[in-house]
């Protein structure tokens, strides 16, 4: 195992939590201690009512290069490897809306991290790849399913079967990211978008996130019925009443997550 365990930093600004993967010398490749830190931050964000949105990014030239390959031999058996805590799982259990600000390389598990976010923004210098096939295995953090949902099975097959990188312009064209920006503008745009989401009704935002994910797992009729049930739950909240009152009074709403 490397002597540099890395870290995942969290900063709270207003109603947004900023999570930064910080191991630039190793392209922000994850170690077990970084996974534990990310899981701890996610638990805090889920339990903190004041946090209404999340931004995930990296330091240096990378968003995240996945797992630290040098550390994979530390697992005694394939069973131990398969049951290790997974940083990609941590992102998927975030209940708050999360934006990936992909500042550079998003490789392997780093791509899976980005795919686990609700919205992906990319710097013009960002690069995306599923390179596991070049090393003799495939991704295990949702790579195939999430890629296919995001960019279609054909484009996903190109990435999965070649392992070759995709640049930011191609990622935008395929629908892997929503916006591509100059590198110097990425952080500001992510913050702007997070602030906008944080200003919306938080129960509705978290419900919309859950509904979007459920839509991929249900037949159309069930998905529409589920959406209507969630709409009814939201409609019964104090925030929904506040939204209607604010609309009638022509004033900005004040949402309290109630």
Same domain for 156 and 89: yes
For position 217, what pLDDT does the model report? 87
Which residues, listed in sequence order, are joined to residue 123 by a DSSP beta bridge? 181
The phi, psi pair for 176, rounded to 5°, reads -70, -30
Q: Which helix (H) or strand (E) holds 192?
A: helix 183-198
For position 22, what pLDDT does the model report? 96
Query: Which of 47, 132, 179, 238 is the catalytic position?
Result: 132
Same domain for 193 and 68: yes
Told to judge if 50 belongs to the known catalytic residues of this protein, a careful annotator would answer: no
DSSP 67: B
Query: Which of 48, 50, 80, 112 is the catalytic position?
Result: 112
Same domain for 99 and 206: no
Indicate whether 2 pLDDT > 50.
no
Residue 243: inside a domain: yes
Task: State how many domains the chain has.
Answer: 2
For position 1, what pLDDT does the model report? 42
Told to judge if 132 belongs to the known catalytic residues of this protein, a careful annotator would answer: yes
* Ranges of H-type helices in 68-133: 78-82, 87-92, 109-115
CB 38 within 8 A of CB 8: yes
Same domain for 215 and 107: no
Residue 1: inside a domain: no
Residue 230: which domain range? 202-249
Tens digits of residue pLDDT in 51-87:
999 999 999 999 999 887 666 666 667 777 666 668 8
Residue 148: inside a domain: yes
Q: How many CA atoms lie within 13 A of 161 on its CB side?
A: 7
Residue 255: inside a domain: no
Tens digits of residue pLDDT in 232-247:
999 899 898 988 999 9
What's the CA gap between 171 and 105, in Å, rounded?
12
Same domain for 206 and 193: no
- The beta-strand segments (E) located in the chain are 7-13, 16-22, 53-58, 62-64, 98-102, 105-107, 119-123, 127-129, 166-167, 179-181
Residue 113: inside a domain: yes
């Amino acid at each position: 195992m490397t002597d540099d365990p890395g870290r995942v930093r969290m900063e709270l600004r207003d109603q947004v939590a900023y999570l930064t993967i910080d191991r630039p010398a190793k392209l922000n490749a994850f170690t077990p201690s970084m996974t534990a830190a990310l899981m701890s931050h996610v638990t805090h964000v889920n339990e903190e009512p004041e946090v209404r949105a999340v931004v995930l990014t990296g330091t240096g030239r990378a968003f995240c290069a996945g797992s630290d390959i040098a550390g994979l031999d530390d697992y005694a058996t394939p069973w131990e490897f398969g049951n290790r805590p997974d940083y990609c799982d941590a992102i998927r259990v975030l209940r708050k809306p999360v934006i990936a600000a992909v500042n550079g390389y998003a490789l392997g598990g780093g791509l899976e991290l980005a795919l686990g976010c609700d919205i992906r923004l990319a710097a013009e210098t960002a690069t995306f790849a599923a390179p596991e096939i070049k090393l003799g295995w495939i991704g295990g953090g949702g790579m195939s399913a999430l890629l296919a949902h995001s960019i279609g099975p054909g484009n996903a097959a190109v990435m999965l079967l070649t392992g070759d990188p995709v640049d930011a312009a191609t990622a935008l064209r395929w629908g892997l990211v929503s916006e591509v920006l100059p590198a110097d503008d990425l952080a500001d745009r992510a913050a702007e978008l997070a602030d906008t989401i944080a200003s919306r009704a938080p129960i509705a935002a978290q419900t919309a996130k859950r509904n979007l994910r459920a839509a991929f797992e249900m037949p159309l009729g069930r998905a529409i019925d589920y959406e209507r049930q969630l709409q009814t739950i939201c409609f019964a909240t104090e925030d929904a009443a506040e939204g209607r009152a604010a609309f009638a009074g022509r004033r900005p709403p004040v949402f309290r997550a109630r």
